Structure 1
Amino acid sequence: MLSGIRTFSKSIFAKILFGIIAISFVAWGLKASMLSLGNSREVAEVGSQSISPAELDRAFKRNIDKMRRVFGPSFDQQQAIQMGLLNNTVQGLISQKLLEENASDMGIGISDEKVRDNIFNNKSFKDETTGQFDRQKFLQILYQNGYSEPEFIEGMRSDLMSQQVVGSLGAASTPPSPLVKAIAAYRNEDRSGRFITLGDDDIAPIETPSDDVLKKFHDDHGAQFTAPETRNATLALLTVDHLAQTMDVTDDEVLDAYNQRIGEFQTPEKRAVEQILFAPNAKESAAEAYKALQGGEDFMKVATEQANMKESVVKLGEFTKDTMLPDLRDTVFNLPEGGYSEPVETALGWHIMRVTAVTPAHEQSLDEVREQVENGVKRQKAEDQIFDVAAQLDDELGAGTSLKDAAAKVNAQLFTLTDIKKGQDLEQGIADSKEINSKIYELNEGDESFLEETQSGNRYVVSVTKVTPSAVQPFEDVRDAVETAWKADEKQRLLGEKADALATRINDQGAKIDAIAAELDNSIDDTGMTKRDGRGLSADANPAIAGALFDLAKGKAKSVIGENGVSVVVLDDIKAASDTTGKDDPIVSELQDSLDQDIVSQYLDYLRDDISISLNNDVVNGLYAQNAPAN
């Protein structure tokens, strides 16, 4: 569900919201049980529960965010609506409420302690060092994914309630054994063969055709020679990085910041440590080893011979006082360099510690880090002032000041953009250029945007000064490109005809691929033992060869056109799949998941007939003016 919560994303709540239910509700539309809400301002009512406009809006924005991770930052609200994401969000929320209502009717309740335990035990919310719940990390993940704390907690409670209902539905379902075996036999069958790949030497040289032929090719393949729409624009951009360069700072401000960040510039003392470790019941052995050291024996020799330790295990590495085992901390950090300790008992056993090197603590002076601190102060000032500068830019534009002059007054960066294609990087070091490009293509020629904010917090205003529509380029301007494309097309056609003819000789005339390869002076390559999905196919084979192998009878041939050229492949061997499929086989898991989804879908159909649902399309359409009715 959340990008940072991999474990949680496998929960029933996440699956219902973004998988099973979104699909099962796409086509169900308004039913007799779905009534109009009249003058209500709620999005929907499901039994005794309701979906507010704010709840829908938050869920829709979260779903748009998820889609941006797939399609990029230019994916916008209107695209989401056109793809049906708004409708699916509405139906997903209704489905969630149906299960909550059902759980409530069945008397299922989830205590605060149960919710807390699930959150506290989630690995994504734990500090990686201590393994303990980290509240700051928890809040950060929620913020990054658009959840408030109360909203997430209630979502978790709903998840646990739904899990008790839905989890029991699929408990008794088991994929039928004949179906599992049939799919396994189809999917896991292996085939192998040989192939030859045709090249330029296998066809006649391709001569340059007349301009009449090329012009016809140009006319028939206009899309290949169409210049995309381009736009010119003027961009005023406010970024913290640029604004920071204009900030003035005083020596007192730098000194104050240095004192506040002093911990960053302090490196604690480090000690390289070795140890000899004996078992908890080996106190006497530890004492004997210590006596040997006092007698002048080498530390490593005692460790390897008396404690049977490997040299690599004896050398523990470098430690600061904070990273040293607490029971050994004082012992190690009170030893002189080269010194060793008496045996020390811990829960792990008896330790003799030696410090082989000491790196003293160090504190960088202000002079050493002045530039770093000064830049930090400038950036902090810029972050504080960017809101006011953006407001000033907005006021200037509202008063009729031109974009160029307004940008100069607030010291914004001004860019003149020419021949910008949709989706391309704007270059010139422009931050968030893909988002800005998307805005440019939302505007018409002569339009100026409002003051916009990017996902990273930069502000900008853009004005579209020229739109050059896409158009087929004149033949005279692209003649060389047309000739190149025609020759490539002709080569593919001739190679395809040649491959078809060779396959026909094998299939109808009994020719052998070895004889054909010798005739063409071509090499023969093995496909490798291959499955239907291409696993096992040799690296130098066209990916399409895998599919061809499973279309052929043994000993037969087929021509294949693919990424690596044109080939002729012959099927040599078929290896049937094993008919034994263990319970952990992916096929069983996939079928089980499919069965579970079908059962949940049917159960929700039952709930829709049993629990009243009222959907208010007027409220949905009012929230998103460009949306078609969500039904």
Structure 2
Amino acid sequence: MLSGIRTFSQSIFAKILFGIIAISFVAWGLKASMLSLGNSREVAEVGSQSISPVELDRAFKRNIDKMRRVFGPSFDQQQAIQMGLLNNTVQGLVSQKLLEENAKDIGIGISDDKVRDNIFNNQSFKNDTTGQFDRQKFLQILYQNGYSEPEFIEGMRSDLMSQQVVGSLGAASTPPSPLVKTIAAYRNEDRNGRFVTLGDDDIDPIATPADDVLKKFHDEHSSQFTAPETRNATLALLTVDSLAKTMDVTDAEVLDAYNQRIGEFQTPEKRAVEQMLFAPNDKESATEAYKALESGKDFMAVATEEAGMKESVVKLGEFTKDNMLPDLRDTVFSLSEDGYSQPVETALGWHIMRVTSITPAHEQSLDEVREQVENGVKRQKAEDQIFDIAAQLDDELGAGTSLKDAADKVHAELFTLTDIKKGQDLGHDIRDSQEINAKIYELNEGDESFLEETQNGDRYVVSVTKVTPSAVQPFEDVRDQVITAWKAEEKQRLLSEKADALAARINDGSAKIEAIATELDNSIDETGDTKRDGRGLSADASPAIAGALFELEKGKAKSVVGANGVAVVVLDDVKGSAADLGKDDPIVSELQDSLDQDIVSQYLDYLRDDISVSLNNGVINGLYAQNTAN
């Protein structure tokens, strides 16, 4: 997750329009200047500018999409509102408008050339092969991030304008050298040591205790042996796929669909093509190569020996008429198999083309694709009728028909779900399973939901038939699990006690780690030069060992319980960090960013007092009434 956040934070879309959104996390309340907008339908007015409902909604949806890249596709609008993302989006827009308004007041403007240069020079929009600006890639990235081209360009202009204001504020701030050195000394210090890991052979075998011991353990650790709440439910599900199977189609409908889709069943003629290419001013060489072919010389031999081309470059692959270069299309598709052309001039130079094989055009008959076309017609009918069928299901249930009988009448799939746990997949290949599970857990025993629609457009009604509350499982039913858990805890206790005793011997000088390793017949492992955050730590070492290294004095030991077991670790050496850091060092950059943010935050407070800000909470709440009410 953290890597996802870091990757996203480097994206241009984390900066454009919401380049200063972090500022809005700084608490700022509704001051006297933030008045109600009365009957206005705008979300906010900031000086001479306004924020429209459309602008807020698009920004909020973009922010939700960005969060989905970190938290996954199930992150929804309701969760976003509960996390404060809506409020954060509003405040971010207001902060952005404040800086824009201020930039206008002090005469800052951004030219079209400046905006264009920033877009053209952005690595995100450059072709991976040529390194040049790629308009198709630019538009594709904008589309993926929810921006129109004009919206993005204006966002870029606004962001550059704000950057000038923010940049001028932060230009004079420099992190104090003593602070930088203190943090660097703490963060960049390296420590290394050695450790011995204890295993099962280093303690006596653990016998199964008497039942009274196990029962006490069961009582004291009841949460480990508590069965979660489960629910039984009946689900009536309407999907396009299931409804399609019930649809009747006529031969006439299938024929009509086939004719409409005929292009899908036609495979155009394809030709495998080879090419010799000469420079635009080198017609003479092309002519000599053609004469060599006329004399019977092999095409590939002429291309490689006389034209100096690699064989892999000569072989262009297969082409249809539509994807062949227009200037060469007629030439290539007039050749017979194994035929070659005379030199042909294009803007790229002089070409001699050869066709090595021809795959004739083919059209699949209706009989060949009947099942495919028929399924398509059925699916189209199901898509057209699912709304009416769902309404029919709702009417049947409203009239008192049982869920089972109503489902039968409309050909809905009926599932009997048993022992469903919260958050669990429902099985049966039900898509949107998690969404339906959440609805099951909103209902009480005996309740039946309204007709619901999933995010993928499926309709369903679910009835909860039984609720089995969470309860501690009787000892007799989980005795084997209790034994396993007791032995695991006892093993951990014994290993920790032994490791503590071994570390104490090292600390009082009565033993060295080498002697302890020999005594245990275990190997000694190196930690590697390790920093406080675990960087540099050996792959064989538990992350907890990194923490232990920075708690110890040189030559001292302690026991560590980690994911890789119980170990005794000794600190061998401490290496201080470099005293001088360059301005691009991450520590300096982080401190500079923190100072800049503090300064900008204070400046925004000043602007809020100087520039009128009016918020319309009625419009905001109206846009998201259903979710804000929950």
Q: Which moved more, 1:271-280 or 1:620-629?
A: 620-629
Trace 1:130-529 onto structure 2 (pairs within 5 A).
Answer: 141=144, 157=154, 160-170=157-167, 173=171, 176=175, 178=177, 186-509=186-509, 511-529=511-529
Structure 2 distance, partners of 1:476, 1:182, is 59
1:345 aligns to what SS in structure 2? strand
Aligned with 2:19 (options 2, 15, 20): 15
Could you tell me how far 1:418 is from its partner in structure 2?
Answer: 1.7
Change (3 A) 1:265 1:532: farther
Q: Which moved more, 1:52-61 or 1:183-192?
A: 52-61
1:600 aligns to what SS in structure 2? helix
Structure 1 distance, partners of 2:114, 2:405, is 60
Structure 1 distance, partners of 2:281, 2:112, is 46
Change (3 A) 1:9 1:45: same
Could you tell me how far 1:6 is from its partner in structure 2?
Answer: 9.2
Given that 1:126 and 1:137 are in contact with CA atoms closer than 8 Å, whether structure 2 keeps it comes out as no
Could you tell me how far 1:168 is from its partner in structure 2?
Answer: 3.5
Please give the per-residue CA displacement for 1:245-298, whole angstroms capped at 9, x wherever unaligned.
Answer: 111112222222222222222222222222233333433333322222222222
Change (3 A) 1:325 1:191: farther
Change (3 A) 1:353 1:72: closer
Given that 1:33 and 1:614 are in contact with CA atoms closer than 8 Å, whether structure 2 keeps it comes out as yes
Could you tell me how far 1:218 is from its partner in structure 2?
Answer: 2.1
- Name the residue aligned to 1:546: 546
Could you tell me how far 1:51 is from its partner in structure 2?
Answer: 5.5
Could you tell me how far 1:114 is from its partner in structure 2?
Answer: 10
Structure 1 distance, partners of 2:180, 2:319, is 55
- Name the residue aligned to 2:613: 613
Trace 1:14-93 onto structure 2 (pairs within 5 A).
Answer: 14-16=18-20, 19-24=21-26, 27-35=27-35, 44-47=44-47, 63=63, 67=67, 70-71=70-71, 79-93=79-93
Structure 2 distance, partners of 1:375, 1:140, is 32
2:304 aligns to what SS in structure 1? helix
Q: Which moved more, 1:106-115 or 1:398-407?
A: 106-115
Residue type matched to 2:291 in 1?
K
1:509 aligns to what SS in structure 2? coil
Could you tell me how far 1:185 is from its partner in structure 2?
Answer: 5.3
Could you tell me how far 1:117 is from its partner in structure 2?
Answer: 11
Change (3 A) 1:135 1:583: closer
Could you tell me how far 1:105 is from its partner in structure 2?
Answer: 4.8
Structure 1 distance, partners of 2:41, 2:352, is 74
Given that 1:125 and 1:137 are in contact with CA atoms closer than 8 Å, whether structure 2 keeps it comes out as no
Structure 1 distance, partners of 2:78, 2:453, is 18
Change (3 A) 1:76 1:361: closer
Given that 1:5 and 1:124 are in contact with CA atoms closer than 8 Å, whether structure 2 keeps it comes out as no
Structure 1 distance, partners of 2:439, 2:125, is 36
Could you tell me how far 1:301 is from its partner in structure 2?
Answer: 2.4
Residue type matched to 2:513 in 1?
I
Could you tell me how far 1:240 is from its partner in structure 2?
Answer: 0.7
Given that 2:43 and 2:617 are in contact with CA atoms closer than 8 Å, whether structure 1 keeps it comes out as yes
Could you tell me how far 1:86 is from its partner in structure 2?
Answer: 4.1
Could you tell me how far 1:427 is from its partner in structure 2?
Answer: 0.4
- Name the residue aligned to 2:4: none
Q: Which moved more, 1:570-579 or 1:254-263?
A: 570-579
Residue type matched to 2:22 in 1?
I
Structure 2 unaligned segments of length 5 or more: list them. Answer: 1-6
Structure 1 distance, partners of 2:281, 2:550, is 67
Could you tell me how far 1:54 is from its partner in structure 2?
Answer: 7.2
Given that 1:7 and 1:122 are in contact with CA atoms closer than 8 Å, whether structure 2 keeps it comes out as no
Given that 1:20 and 1:601 are in contact with CA atoms closer than 8 Å, whether structure 2 keeps it comes out as no
Structure 2 distance, partners of 1:347, 1:618, is 62
Change (3 A) 1:250 1:277: same
Change (3 A) 1:314 1:486: same
Could you tell me how far 1:106 is from its partner in structure 2?
Answer: 5.3
Structure 1 unaligned segments of length 5 or more: list them. Answer: none
Structure 2 distance, partners of 1:139, 1:394, is 41
Could you tell me how far 1:65 is from its partner in structure 2?
Answer: 5.7
Change (3 A) 1:343 1:527: farther
Change (3 A) 1:243 1:119: farther
Given that 1:275 and 1:352 are in contact with CA atoms closer than 8 Å, whether structure 2 keeps it comes out as yes
Structure 2 distance, partners of 1:81, 1:10, is 19
Q: Which moved more, 1:350-359 or 1:170-179?
A: 170-179
Structure 2 distance, partners of 1:387, 1:218, is 53
Change (3 A) 1:569 1:6: closer
Structure 2 distance, partners of 1:117, 1:364, is 51
Change (3 A) 1:214 1:44: farther
2:561 aligns to what SS in structure 1? strand
Given that 1:35 and 1:614 are in contact with CA atoms closer than 8 Å, whether structure 2 keeps it comes out as yes
1:424 aligns to what SS in structure 2? coil
Change (3 A) 1:603 1:580: same
Please give the per-residue CA displacement for 1:525-556, whole angstroms capped at 9, x wherever unaligned.
Answer: 23344444334433332232233334444443
Structure 2 distance, partners of 1:539, 1:185, is 25
Given that 1:192 and 1:527 are in contact with CA atoms closer than 8 Å, whether structure 2 keeps it comes out as yes
Residue type matched to 2:95 in 1?
S
Could you tell me how far 1:80 is from its partner in structure 2?
Answer: 4.3
Alignment RMSD = 4.0
Trace 1:614-629 onto structure 2 (pairs within 5 A).
Answer: 614-615=614-615, 624=625, 627=628
Change (3 A) 1:122 1:268: farther
Per the normalisation by structure 2, the TM-score is 0.84
Please give the per-residue CA displacement for 1:510-530, whole angstroms capped at 9, x wherever unaligned.
Answer: 632222111101122233444
Residue type matched to 2:15 in 1?
S
Structure 2 distance, partners of 1:90, 1:307, is 64
Structure 2 distance, partners of 1:577, 1:443, is 59
Please give the per-residue CA displacement for 1:557-614, whole angstroms capped at 9, x wherever unaligned.
Answer: 3322111111222334455555665666555554554444334323322222222334
Could you tell me how far 1:121 is from its partner in structure 2?
Answer: 11
Structure 2 distance, partners of 1:297, 1:181, is 75
Given that 2:99 and 2:165 are in contact with CA atoms closer than 8 Å, whether structure 1 keeps it comes out as no
Change (3 A) 1:385 1:175: farther
2:523 aligns to what SS in structure 1? coil
Given that 2:53 and 2:620 are in contact with CA atoms closer than 8 Å, whether structure 1 keeps it comes out as yes
- Name the residue aligned to 2:3: none
Could you tell me how far 1:211 is from its partner in structure 2?
Answer: 2.6
Residue type matched to 1:500 in 2?
D
Structure 1 distance, partners of 2:54, 2:48, is 18
Structure 2 distance, partners of 1:258, 1:121, is 49
Could you tell me how far 1:299 is from its partner in structure 2?
Answer: 2.4
Could you tell me how far 1:483 is from its partner in structure 2?
Answer: 1.7
- Percent identity reads 78
1:292 aligns to what SS in structure 2? helix
Please give the per-residue CA displacement for 1:135-177, whole angstroms capped at 9, x wherever unaligned.
Answer: 99799757xx6x8x7xx95576355324312344125537548
Could you tell me how far 1:383 is from its partner in structure 2?
Answer: 0.8
Given that 1:196 and 1:569 are in contact with CA atoms closer than 8 Å, whether structure 2 keeps it comes out as yes
